[in-house]
Amino acid sequence: MDFQTWRHVFKLDPAKEISDGHLERICESGTDAILIGGSDDVTLDNVLELMARVRRYSVPVALEVSTVESVTPGFDYYFIPTVLNSSDPKWIKGLHHEAIREYGEIMDWTEIVPEGYCILNPDCKAAQLTRADASLTEEDVLGYARMAEHFFKLPVFYLEYSGRFGDLELVKKTASVLSETRLFYGGGIDSAERAKEMAALSDTVVVGNIIYEDLNKALATVKAVAETAGQSL
C-alpha cells in the first residue's frame, strides 16, 4: 500500500463522468493506485461520490487536493501539490498555510504526501490556473528537482505535462538527479508504448485523460508499465 512502491497510477477526475462498468475495469486493472483529482470543478460532492464508488474495490485510493473545500476523510493518502514553478505564492504555500492553520491539529501527517510539481505544458489548465512559468530550460528543471529533494525534502517530484507527451531526454536527466525523492511523470500517456517509454525513465507514471477517451488504451498501460523496469528500482 506504500505509495513509494507505486509504478502505475490512474488519475480520475471527479468533474468527469465515468460509468460503473468502466470504473470497475479501471479499479480491477492491476494499477497500483487511484488518484482522485483535477484542476477545475472539483467539489466536495463530486469527490465524495467518486471516492465511495472507488471504495467498492480494494485498490488504494488517494485524493490529490486542489481545493480545501473538497478535502474529506476516507482516503488512504492526501497528495498535496505545491507548484514550484508557479509565479503566485498562493499555489506554492499560500493555500497550504490556510489549510494547515485550519486542519493542522487534526491532521494525520502519515497520510500526507507533499508533491513538488513542475508544470511543463503551458497550455494545460493547471499551468494557467497557477500561473506556472513553463518556459524552463533543462537547468531550470534540474534545479527544481534538486530543490525538491535536497532543500524541501519532498517525497515526490512531479513532472506534469497534463494533456501532452513530455520530453523523454528531460525526464531521463531529471531522474538522474533524484535519489530519495520519487519521480512522478504525467501527461499524454495514451498507449502501451508511451507508458513503457516513461516507465523506463521515471518511478511512477500517471495516466489520466485517456481513461475518458479510449478505455482499452488506458488499460493497456497497466501491463506495459508492469513489464518495464524503472530507472531507480
Ligand X SMILES: CC(C)=CCC/C(C)=C/CC/C(C)=C/CC/C(C)=C/CC/C(C)=C/CC/C(C)=C/CC/C(C)=C/COP(=O)(O)OP(=O)(O)O
Residue window 193-222: x/- pattern of binding to Mg ion, with contact defined by CB under 5 A? ---------------xx-------------
CB half-sphere exposure, 136, CA atoms < 13 A: 26
Residues 170-189 that bind ligand 1GP (CB under 6 A): 186-189
> DSSP label at 45?
H
The residue range among 23-31, 55-63, 160-168, 193-201 that interacts with ligand 1GP, by the rule CB under 6 A, is 160-168
Residue 35: Cβ within 10 Å count: 25
- Only one residue has cell 525523492, namely 181
What cell was used for 120?
511543463
Of 162 and 202, nearer to ligand 1GP (C-beta) is 162
Shortest Å distance, C-beta 120 to ligand X: 12
Of 22 and 150, nearer to ligand 1GP (C-beta) is 22
Q: Does residue 78 interact with ligand X by CB under 6 A?
A: yes
The residue range among 15-23, 44-52, 54-62, 207-215 that interacts with ligand 1GP, by the rule CB under 6 A, is 207-215
Q: Does residue 103 interact with ligand X by CB under 6 A?
A: yes
DSSP E strands in 30-99: the ranges are 33-36, 61-64, 77-83
Measure the CA–CA gap between 41 and 34, rounded to whole angstroms: 19
- Residue 99 touches which member of ligand X, Mg ion, ligand 1GP, none, C-beta under 5-8 Å by kind: ligand X
Measure the CA–CA gap between 26 and 191, rounded to whole angstroms: 15
What cell was used for 152?
524541501
Q: Does residue 207 interact with ligand 1GP by CB under 6 A?
A: yes
Report whether 159 contacts 188 (CB < 8 A).
Answer: no
Report whether 145 contacts 174 (CB < 8 A).
Answer: yes
CA distances from 159 to 5, 70, 77, 181, 198 (A): 18, 24, 20, 12, 11
Q: Does residue 100 interact with ligand X by CB under 6 A?
A: yes
Shortest Å distance, C-beta 64 to ligand 1GP: 8
Report whether 208 contacts 162 (CB < 8 A).
Answer: yes
Q: Which residues bind ligand 1GP (CB under 6 A)?
A: 11, 160, 162-163, 186-189, 206-210
Q: Which residues bind ligand X (CB under 6 A)?
A: 13, 37-40, 64-68, 71-73, 78, 80-81, 83, 91, 95-96, 99-100, 103, 107, 117, 124-126, 129-130, 160, 162-163, 208-209
